[in-house]
Homo-oligomer: A and B are copies of this chain.
Amino acid sequence: MQDKVKLIQYGVGPIGASIVKLVLQKEGFEYVGAIDVDPNKIGKDLGDVAGVGKKLGVPISGDAKKVLKDSKADLVIHTTASFLKDIRQQITDVVDAGLDMVSTSEELTFPSLKDPEMAMEIDALAKKKGVTVLATGVNPGFLMDTLPLTVTGVCQDVKSIKVTRMMDASIRRLPFQKKIGAGMTVDEFKKAVAGGRMGHIGLPESIAMIAAGVGWKLDDIQQTIEPVVADRPLKTQYLAVERGQVAGLHQVGKGIVKGKPAITLDFWAYVGAPENKDSTFIEGTPNVDLTIKGGVHGDLATAAMVVNSIRNVIKGQPGLMTMTDLAIPRALLGNIAKLAGN
């Protein structure tokens, strides 16, 4: 390990920018490249586009292969898209260039669910190239999979796992409020769901990760997305929701084992929710009844999970990994080059 871990930022949208800001607060990192497809960003400095308040001397390029090959980087932070079909070539290019990678792609957190063939191919290529690939985040990646799974570690037996995440969208950014349908009519919401343009991405991946983690065979994964309808007028800093309009969404994922819902993930995000909280209830021997009061702030935590996972990815075995394959997550509070060395 050199004295710096050299990074390429692949994708400089809002999440990418929040990660760049966090990386700059840490010791032992250095950006050596940046990639984005947006013509408005290409040619500009990574620091300017990420809004860190200074230039980093790293121009954003639209030529991914060239940056990956020429930058002499150690690891790529990949924040471009959610779905495997949109990022297959990107991942292949990164791995082919012999670089480790941490991605925020939701489907890549447990890629064998949606595309087992692609997962095997990337895993084989990563092993051949000696690099480690991981996708993570706060959800999927931690609150509704890694954390509940970790908590089952104290159980002699487990009958069922129920995880609840409830977010009051009133205090979130406008894009978040729009993403969950706040202010839509019920009809618009249902059309958006039917068109695959509405809903949290990743519940099936979280269910599959938990099941594989403990050794349960899933008969089926079921998912429902329903609107939460406002029973009174609601107002946020950004928008108003009339009575009868959509305040947000309630999404439920179930993992069916031997005919029963052994895993239930209950996701609420709406304007006017009574509280923010994350909880896990394990029905087992013993029961475990865990609650994070006030919940975990999604935007802050996603950037944290990505940056904090870099050490485990650098130290990890080669291959396409999930959060269940690598060492336990933990905050990165020292120099990454020292902590990931030896």
Listed in ascending order, the chain A residues whose CB lies under 8 Å from chain B are 22, 25, 138, 142-143, 146-147, 149-158, 213-217, 284-294, 296-297, 300-301, 303-305, 307-309, 317, 323-335, 338-339
Check A216 against B333 for contact (C-beta < 8 Å). Answer: yes
14 interchain pairs, CB-CB under 8 A:
A146-B150, A149-B330, A152-B308, A153-B305, A153-B308, A158-B333, A214-B330, A286-B296, A289-B292, A324-B328, A325-B327, A327-B328, A328-B328, A328-B329
A106 to B322, CA, bound (A): 30
For A291, the closest partner residue in chain B by CB is B291
Q: Which residues of B are found within 8 Å of A335, using beta-carbon distances? A: 215
A330 to B282, CA, bound (A): 12
Q: How far is the CB of A77 from chain B (nearest CB, A)?
A: 15
Q: How far is the CB of A144 from chain B (nearest CB, A)?
A: 12
Check A332 against B300 for contact (C-beta < 8 Å). Answer: no
Q: Which residues of B are found within 8 Å of A286, using beta-carbon distances? A: 296-297, 300-301
Check B285 against A330 for contact (C-beta < 8 Å). Answer: no
Report the copy number of this chain in the oligomer: 2
Q: Which residues of B are found within 8 Å of A214, using beta-carbon distances? A: 330-334
For A292, the closest partner residue in chain B by CB is B290
Contact A329 B153, CB 8 Å, known A215-B335, A290-B290: yes
A328 to B212, CA, bound (A): 13
For A299, the closest partner residue in chain B by CB is B286
A286 to B338, CA, bound (A): 25
Q: Which residues of B are found within 8 Å of A215, using beta-carbon distances? A: 332-335, 338-339
For A300, the closest partner residue in chain B by CB is B286
Q: Which residues of B are found within 8 Å of A326, using beta-carbon distances? A: 327-328
